[in-house]
Amino acid sequence: MNQDEEVSSLYVVHQGELKLTYHSGNWSDKGKSIESEKTEIINSGGCFGEWVLLGKSSCQVTVEALTDVECWAITKLKFEAAVGNLQDIIQEDLK
């Protein structure tokens, strides 16, 4: 990922540590618009970009590797092909 690249997939950190910097006006990992710059540390087993699977507009975020990092990425299209539409799954689960 390059600096300020648009997040368009779900990323799972297999190993390592990342620093994410969200910029004002973007969507945070919790799906809320943020007022000012926010940073977050993601460790092995953590993830970011899950809002993409929910159909939320993607955002630009700066991702900095603090250690050697290995990430797995899955696009919304690949997720839906394997599992189905996440919104439908959530609605079914609420029944």
Residue 78: φ, ψ to 5°? -70, -40
Length of the chain: 95
Is 52 a residue whose pLDDT tops 60?
yes
The reported pTM is 0.72
Inter-residue contact 66 to 41 (CB < 8 Å): yes
Residue 1 is predicted with a pLDDT of: 59
Picking from 72, 67, 57, the residue whose alpha carbon sits closest to that of residue 25 is: 57
Rounded alpha-carbon distances, angstroms, from residue 59 to 4, 7, 45: 9, 6, 22
Q: What is the pLDDT of residue 15?
A: 97
How many whole angstroms separate alpha carbon 85 and alpha carbon 73?
A: 17
In which element (H, E) is residue 85 found? none
